Amino acid sequence: MGRAFEYRKATKMKRWGHMAKTFTRLGKQIAIAVKAGGPDADTNPTLRSIIATCKRENMPKDNIERAIKNAMGKDQSSYETRTYEGYGPHGIAVFVDTLTDNPTRTVGDVRSVFNKFSGNMGTSGSLAFLFDHKCVFTFKKPADLDMDDFILEVIDLGVDDEYDEDPEEGTLTIYGDPKSYAEIQKYLEGNGFEEVGGEFTYIPNDLKEVTPEQRETIDKMVERLEDFDDVQTVYTNMKPAED
């Protein structure tokens, strides 16, 4: 497995372990997609991609439909994406992705956690050199797919030559340039790939070793950040614990 897959696999349960939190995160993404492109998944590729991710995360159909309906309400707040970054305890880099209808509240909440754990928030982009920003697509892998031919074809779309398979789920995951998100999604759907779910992620390019005691402190900081409803995902460059 590649570096990206191993990092995502090791951190997924910690980041998305609470079902209610996962559904809240996805519900906000649905709201943004509906506001931008309408409630019809057939004509809204972003919404279609998020719904595929919802299904993969076992979000009930009723929850998905309710999130779409709520996003159409006149009193539905408009969310915007904000990313905050800085250093946590023991020099660990921390990225915090948020969806918020009140940036003032959100930045105050995030800053309070950095301060509590003796960290320092930086300016936007200050930690970009420590992470690779990627778009990620996961979809059902056709049994007859020739991977060499497939990669040669999509590499011109901005897709990396690193990919990962999950034999248990029967899925394939590819990574690419975030600017190519729409083009990659269009190609996958246009060529008959099924259950195409896409998202954006930050993958650390240099993982940092920590002691068990240091890991405990950093985990507490991450958990505290994830307690806020506005926080979608927290990324760090801490090396995942070995099983």
Sorted by sequence, the CB contacts under 8 Å of residue 180 that are 6+ apart come out as 135, 157, 158, 159
Please give the model's pTM, rounded to 2 decimal places. 0.79
Q: List b or e across 174-203, with b for residues whose CB sees 16 or more CB atoms inside 10 angstroms.
A: bbbeeebbebbbebbbeeebeebbbbebbb
Return the number of other C-beta atoms located less than 10 Å from residue 6's C-beta. Answer: 13
Asked if 39 contacts 72 with a C-beta cutoff of 8 angstroms, the reply is yes
Report the pLDDT value the prediction gives residue 37, as an integer from 0 to 100.
Answer: 87
70 burial type by CB count under 10 A (0-12 exposed, 13-18 middle, 19+ buried):
middle
Distance CA 136, CA 159 (A): 9
- Looking at residues 24-47, what average pLDDT do you find? 89
Report the pLDDT value the prediction gives residue 4, as an integer from 0 to 100.
Answer: 57
Domain boundaries, the chain: 3-71
Given phi > 0 = left and psi -120 to 50 = alpha, else beta, which region is 170?
left
The model's pLDDT over 128-149, given as tens digits with 9 standing for 90+, comes to 899 999 999 999 999 999 999 9
Asked if the model's pLDDT at residue 213 lies above 50, the reply is yes
Q: Which residue has the tokens 């697509």?
A: 137
Report the pLDDT value the prediction gives residue 15, as an integer from 0 to 100.
Answer: 42
CATH superfamily assigned to domain 3-71:
Integrase, N-terminal zinc-binding domain (1.10.10.200)
